[in-house]
Amino acid sequence: MKDREKNRILTKHISRRDLLKGSAFGLASLAIPIGKADASFWEAFFQKHFREMNRDEVKAVIARLEEDYYKKYNKRFNIKTTEALPGTLFGYGLDLSRCIGCRRCVYACVRENNQSRDPQIHWITVLRFKKGEKWVNDLEEAEKYYYPDEVPEEGYFYMPVQCQQCENPPCVKVCPTQATWKEPDGIVVVDYNWCIGCRYCMAACPYGARRFNWGEPRIAREEINTNVHYLGNRPRYKGVVEKCTFCIQRTRGNPGRYPACVEICPVGARKFGNLLDPKSEIRYIIENKRVFRLKEDLNTQPKFFYFFAT
């Protein structure tokens, strides 16, 4: 009895020592009893980086993921891997003179992009400022938690912030595993199956745009959006980082659709288009309105333009 007790402690020590060495495999062997030890576990474990897979490998991965999601949510998913359309560079415009701070964009985004409801994850943060107080450079006066009965409130204005899709993204630069990168159409994406969850990108992002799955993401079955993109709104995992992708599952199409936040905005404050198309609405705004970008001193070159139409 005593010996067995000793043995148990001893084996625990051995697995601890493996861990000490930082051996990934030692840790994986620890994690197996918690997860499932079937074939798909190992396929998932050895899944390659998205950009290093050939077409057949991508197909196999998509099939496996659709199966996994079916098991988990009891719904059939359609996971797209649509590539960037040639000749597109997406840009976003936000009219601060129109925004009323209603947060409809926040929740439309949550529904469209399958954000976890518990713990709650939002990709868009709406900041409220008191008129006349300092803002833009010094966001210390910003109020994120405002709950009035009605918006807009007298004496306040609002500034929604989400991923600014920088041309010079600091988050991509710091990622140690290249799990996040900028696509040819300018969208910064994350491979949720490659991210190790170190959160260096979150430290690097000047806009607080990246979100981490601190717990197991939970969404009610009937609220799931099954029309998803591999690099976008497919359900995420515990322990990985996620962010706004300009609704990559909608915008990458011919004809494409507007991002959910643009579509829902009741006052038309949100504009979206192709920066490379001289006739696009976003180009008209940049050329004819007074635009500015957030924290331009950091030289991140966002493709997200704030402006005042009136």
Partner 1 sequence: MSIFNPFINFFRVLRQVVKGNKWYYAWVGLLSFFILLGLVAYFKQLQYGLIETAMRDQVSWGLYIANFTFLVGVAAAAVYLVVPAYIYNFKPIKEVVLFGELLAATAIVMCIMFIMVDLGRPERVWHILPVVGKMHFPASLLAWDVIVLNGYLAINLFIPFYALYKLAHGREYNMQIIKPLIIISIPWAISIHTVTAFLYNGLPSRPFWNAAVLAPRFIASALCSGPALMLIIFQIVRKIYKLDIDNKAIFKIAELIAYAMGVNLFLFAAEFFKEFYSNSIHLAPMKYLFFGLNGHYNLVPWMWASLLFNITAFVLFLLPKTREHFFSLNLACVLVIAGVYIEKGMGLVIPGFVPGTLGEIYEYTPTMVEKYITIGIWAAGALIYTVFLKFMIPIYKGELRFKSSQSKQVG
Chain residues that interact with partner 1, rule: CB under 8 A: 9, 12-13, 16, 19-22, 24, 27-28, 30-31, 34, 45, 49, 52, 119, 125, 127, 137-142, 144, 161, 170, 173-179, 194-200, 202-208, 210-216, 237-241, 298
Quote the least distance from Cβ 2 to partner 1, whole Å. Answer: 14
Cα 148 to chain centroid distance, Å, stands at 28
Nearest to partner 1 of 85, 196 (CB atom) = 196
Instruction: Give the span between the Cα atoms of 203 and 190, in whole angstroms.
Output: 16
Give Cα separations from 226 to 117, 217, 234, 282 (angstroms).
Answer: 16, 16, 8, 30
Nearest to partner 1 of 177, 301 (CB atom) = 177
Instruction: Give the span between the Cα atoms of 225 and 219, in whole angstroms.
Output: 10
What element of type H or E holds 229? Answer: strand 227-229
Instruction: Give the span between the Cα atoms of 129 and 207, in whole angstroms.
Output: 16
Phi then psi dihedrals of residue 50, to 5 deg: -55, -40
Nearest to partner 1 of 161, 247 (CB atom) = 161
Quote the least distance from Cβ 169 to partner 1, whole Å. Answer: 11
Name residue, tokens 């050939």. 54
Quote the least distance from Cβ 58 to partner 1, whole Å. Answer: 16
Instruction: Give the span between the Cα atoms of 223 and 219, in whole angstroms.
Output: 7
Q: 242 has which bridge partners? A: 211
In 45-70, which positions are buried (b, 16+ CB within 10 angstroms) versus exposed (e)? eebeebeeeeeeeeeebbeebbeebe
Quote the least distance from Cβ 298 to partner 1, whole Å. Answer: 5
Nearest to partner 1 of 11, 97 (CB atom) = 11
Instruction: Give the span between the Cα atoms of 213 and 268, in whole angstroms.
Output: 31
Nearest to partner 1 of 119, 152 (CB atom) = 119
Nearest to partner 1 of 212, 246 (CB atom) = 212
Question: What DSSP string runs through 93-130?
Answer: EEETTT-----HHHHHHHHHTT--TTTT--S-EEEEEE
Nearest to partner 1 of 125, 280 (CB atom) = 125
Quote the least distance from Cβ 261 to partner 1, whole Å. Answer: 17
Give Cα separations from 303 to 14, 152, 280 (angstroms).
Answer: 51, 27, 14
Quote the least distance from Cβ 113 to partner 1, whole Å. Answer: 16
Quote the least distance from Cβ 127 to partner 1, whole Å. Answer: 6
Quote the least distance from Cβ 1 to partner 1, whole Å. Answer: 18
Nearest to partner 1 of 102, 195 (CB atom) = 195
